[in-house]
Amino acid sequence: MARWREVPIGKKLVQNVPETILSNSVAALENCYQAENGTHVRFPGLKSFAALAGTAPTYLYEWRGDLVAVSNSRVYRIGTGGAATDVTGVPVSGGGRVVFAETEDALLMAAGGPIVRLKESRTDKLSEDAPHTTHVAYVDGYVVAIEPGSGRFQYSDPGEPESWPALNIYTAERHPDNANALVVTPRGEMLVGGPQSIQQFERLASGDSPFIPRWNIGQGVYAPYTFTIADQGAWVVNKDREFVRLAGMTTDVASDLINLTLESIDDWTDAWAEQFHLRGQKFIVLQMPFAATPYETKGLTAVYDYRQKRWFNLYGWDGDLGRPTRWPGWSYRTLWGRNFVGGNGAVLELDHETYANDGEVLRQLARTAHIDAWGPSRVDRVRLRVRRGVVGSNAADPVVNIRARRDNDAWTRWRRAGLGRAGKREMTVNLGGFGTARGTWQFEYFVT
């Protein structure tokens, strides 16, 4: 007797083994995440918010009620309506990703060159004596900057960010290592990373140095701009190319389910990570912008739901090639109850009612494992429960596309069903059958 079987789309994404091994998980999850009940929810699209000069990556920060954007070395202040004012007196130079630090009365920026400050109406150089640096931070009145290529960091006089005496320098002693990253935790702990180790410093009330080393761990920092703060801990891609969480002297690997993907990355240049909080969900985005993708394009973006310990992927779309490519974000900032993404010479806004990525196709796709629990079987009909009626009555009817692979053979042809215009609220769509299989079934769907 025929009966309905549930296709397990609510299982975790697993990319740590070859896909043919999978039987009780999800093999692909793109531009959608799994809600608490396992259903798939489309990741919001991107719409234009502010246009800047050029097409360089844009880095965002919030300061004094405005959105601050750095793109093509220029600094902009942007208001709620999207009007951008160029406040560049001294450009942010160095060619690296921009790192921000906020003092009591100024915003500091570093990208490999001099530390740039935004304090009044225009940016200026913080100090002629401060080092050129990739990472700057602010701790209890001290501005701190690493010396790239050495095991040292320098610091200003307390409360005087412009004063950098030559003796205000600290050299790592417990584990000599070239500093390549710097973050400050919500508890005021300063973490200095190097390729072989991470050292924690705390403020010292008295003594020759205002900082004292507390502990050292041999994790190492493989990708410096993936060193970020989220969920009351620090996260980073370590020297073993694992994405790990650091809390005190404890380390937890968060990337077990996708480690094969991380180990296969061919280019870690400018890889970055940032916390994303939107619509009740808490994610960390980990992007390798120049890494090869399975679609023979560049730009891998993995997203970690750290509450549920689940992963999914984000992709943009190359209209010329007709295939997925890098998701078009370079940074993220939430402000005014809205979520902004730094694009290429532009600021974009994440919007759940936008069904494109800055005008390009947004394709939601999922692929199951090879389901072997049914044994020899025949699929006479596939039924999907979906959200319908989300576009206006005059818009084109969106469609969901689904296909199957039987016994790991060739994929069937796509079957399509309309999702309906406004007013079409039925939640179930029915598609035809897919024939018979001796042992395994695999399904894939996409919606644009």
- pLDDT tens by residue, 358-417: 999 999 999 999 999 999 999 999 999 988 887 777 777 788 999 999 999 999 999 999
pLDDT at 172: 66
pLDDT at position 96 over 70: yes
- Rounded CA-CA distance 78/93 in Å is 21
Kindly report the pTM of this predicted structure. 0.94
pLDDT at position 207 over 70: no
Residue pair 218/231 in contact by the 8 Å Cβ criterion: no
CA dihedral 114, 183, 284, 86 (to 10 degrees): -30
pLDDT at 390: 78
Lowest mean pLDDT: which of 185-194, 198-207, 272-281, 348-357? 198-207
Confidence band of 45 (pLDDT split at 50, 70, 90): very high
- Rounded CA-CA distance 114/265 in Å is 31
Q: Tell me how far CA of residue 236 lies from CA of 37, 53, 232, 308, in angstroms.
A: 29, 32, 14, 19
- Rounded CA-CA distance 321/147 in Å is 42
| Percent of the chain surpassing pLDDT 90 | 81
pLDDT at 248: 77
pLDDT at 186: 85
- Rounded CA-CA distance 338/341 in Å is 10
3-class DSSP state of 377 = strand
- Count of alpha carbons within 13 Å of 385, Cβ hemisphere only? 6
Average pLDDT in the 216-226 region?
A: 92
pLDDT at 388: 82
What is the helix, strand, coil percentage profile of the chain, to 5? 5, 45, 50
User: Which of 267, 317, 324 lies closest to 290, judged by CA?
Assistant: 267
Average pLDDT in the 108-126 region?
A: 97
- The residue ranking higher by pLDDT, 107 or 355, is 107
pLDDT at 173: 58
Q: In what order do the strands lie in the sheet with 66-71?
A: 58-63, 66-71, 74-78, 84-86
Average pLDDT in the 212-228 region?
A: 91
**Distance separating the N- and C-terminal Cα atoms of the chain:** 36
How buried is 331 (Cβ within 10 angstroms: 0-12 exposed, 13-18 middle, 19+ buried)? buried
What does the DSSP 8-state code read for residue 262? H
Phi-psi category of 278—alpha, beta or left, where left has phi over 0 and alpha has psi -120 to 50? beta
- The residue ranking higher by pLDDT, 279 or 256, is 256
pLDDT at 278: 86
The two tokens of residue 274 are: 């940032």
pLDDT at 249: 80
What does the DSSP 8-state code read for residue 389? -
pLDDT at 174: 58
pLDDT at position 175 over 70: no
Q: In what order do the strands lie in the sheet with 338-342?
A: 331-335, 338-342, 346-351, 45-51, 356-357, 360-361
- The residue written with tokens 């969480």 in the block is 245
What amino acid occupies position 269? T
Residue pair 85/74 in contact by the 8 Å Cβ criterion: no
Rounded to 5 degrees, what angle do the CA atoms 329, 331, 334 make?
110
pLDDT at 1: 63
The two tokens of residue 176 are: 């000599």
CA dihedral 372, 374, 375, 381 (to 10 degrees): -110
Q: How many helices (H) and strands (E) does the chain have?
A: 1, 43
Residue pair 289/269 in contact by the 8 Å Cβ criterion: yes
Average pLDDT in the 113-121 region?
A: 96
Q: What is the DSSP string of 165-197?
A: -TT-EEE--SS-----EEEE-TTS-EEEE-SS-
pLDDT at position 217 over 90: no
Lowest mean pLDDT: which of 151-155, 271-275, 409-413? 151-155
Q: Tell me how far CA of residue 254 lies from CA of 118, 169, 238, 303, in angstroms.
A: 36, 34, 11, 11
Confidence band of 50 (pLDDT split at 50, 70, 90): very high
- The residue ranking higher by pLDDT, 209 or 342, is 342
- pLDDT tens for 233-266 read 999 999 999 999 998 788 999 999 999 999 999 9
